[in-house]
Amino acid sequence: MEIVAKLKKLRVSPRKMRLVVDLVRNVNVINALKILKYSPKRGSFFLKKLLLSAISNWQNKNKGLKIENSNLYIKSIFVNCSSTLKRIRPAPQGKAHGIRRRFSNIIIVLADNF
């Protein structure tokens, strides 16, 4: 059985978020929570919340089962680019440089058998 959880329009750039996602890809859920707890990256906090949401979705579908007894692991997780805010920053000689503030979408899929 596969469980899906999504996080949309997260205010972390996809490039920075992929560094965190690569740490927990194809890892057991319990180990992934431990990795994210001690990771210094800003995106690890948001990814941990998303993983806990996916675990909650799994528990709602499988009433009576405990997370410790299951072989639940992260089957796939990927980050896509969402919308981009465009801003202007003043530059010398009356010019302006553009700034792009990127948002990201994260999709996580959990599966039972490893």
CATH no. for residue 107? 3.90.470.10
**Domain around 58:** 2-111
- pTM, rounded to two decimals: 0.89
pLDDT tens, 31-73?
Answer: 999 999 999 999 999 999 999 999 999 999 988 888 888 889 9
The structure tokens listed for 1 are 């059985």
State both tokens at 63.
């009433």
CB 108 within 8 A of CB 50: yes
For the four alpha carbons of 11, 14, 15 and 18, in that order, the dihedral sign comes to positive
Task: Note whether 2 and 88 are within 8 A (CB).
Answer: no
How many independent structural domains does the chain possess?
1
- Confirm if 91 and 114 have CB atoms less than 8 A apart: no
Query: How do residues 20-32 score in pLDDT, each as one tens digit?
Result: 999 999 999 999 9
| Residue matched to tokens 């530059």 | 91
Instruction: Tell me the per-residue pLDDT of 78-100, one tens digit each, with 9 for 90 and over.
Output: 999 999 999 999 999 999 999 99
